[in-house]
Amino acid sequence: MSITIDEAQEFIINHVREWKQGETILAKANYDIHLNTTVDVYINNHQTTISYPFNNQTPSKYIFRPVFADALWDLCRKGILRLGTNSNPNFSCSTTIEDPGFSMTEFGKEWLSKRKNDALLPADPNKFTMLFSNFQSSYGASYFRRAKEAVSSLQLGNFLACCVMSGAAAESILLSAAFASNKKMKF
């Protein structure tokens, strides 16, 4: 069984939906979400559906760790989490590369409490690209190039560039429609 970054984010969000400081099974010490704990919980919850690629041995958490690390980092980029402790004065831990922990931001707490059924935008840019590629035959290669550029801009946090390229993709759709209708008209 493999897992995508979006599935990992959904798993994390489902476990912290009713978040209270330190009261999620993904927490450890003074972290609200701990990477290694999250991977362990995922493996324990999915033992019956995980296929073991190495002669039916127990899966190593290092198979899933990179995807969950990317999912947690994307949640940091979106302002829901931050790297580090939850500033609980009763604990003293440091985040390390080998043992990273994350804490909820104030925005993240508000987002979780107010938006019960909202899904995040896909973290995997390939999902957007695959969606837009379905329309390439109808709207043309120019549309698809501009749509891919909009996705790249979004992933890099260049929101103005994303808006500009989305507008350029929409313009390509209009031009495709104009050319198609012009071909149908006989003068």
Q: Are 6 and 123 in contact (CB under 8 A)?
A: yes
pLDDT number for residue 161: 93
Helix then strand then coil, in percent of the chain rounded to 5, is: 55, 5, 40
Each residue's pLDDT tens digit, 89-106: 554 455 555 668 888 888
- Here the tokens at position 129 are 């690209």
pLDDT number for residue 92: 47
Quote the CA–CA distance of 44 and 1 in Å, as a whole number: 14
- Here the tokens at position 102 are 């994350």
In the chain, what percentage of residues exceed pLDDT 70?
74
Each residue's pLDDT tens digit, 34-73: 888 888 888 888 765 655 555 455 556 678 888 999 999 8
Task: Inform me whether the pLDDT recorded for 22 exceeds 60.
Answer: no
145 vs 157 pLDDT, higher one? 145
Task: Inform me whether the pLDDT recorded for 17 exceeds 60.
Answer: yes
Q: How far apart are the first and last CA of the chain?
A: 59
Q: How confident is the model at residue 166 (pLDDT cuts 50, 70, 90)?
A: very high
**Average model confidence (pLDDT) for the chain?**
78
pLDDT number for residue 171: 93
Task: Inform me whether the pLDDT recorded for 168 exceeds 90.
Answer: yes
Quote the CA–CA distance of 187 and 183 in Å, as a whole number: 10
164 vs 140 pLDDT, higher one? 164
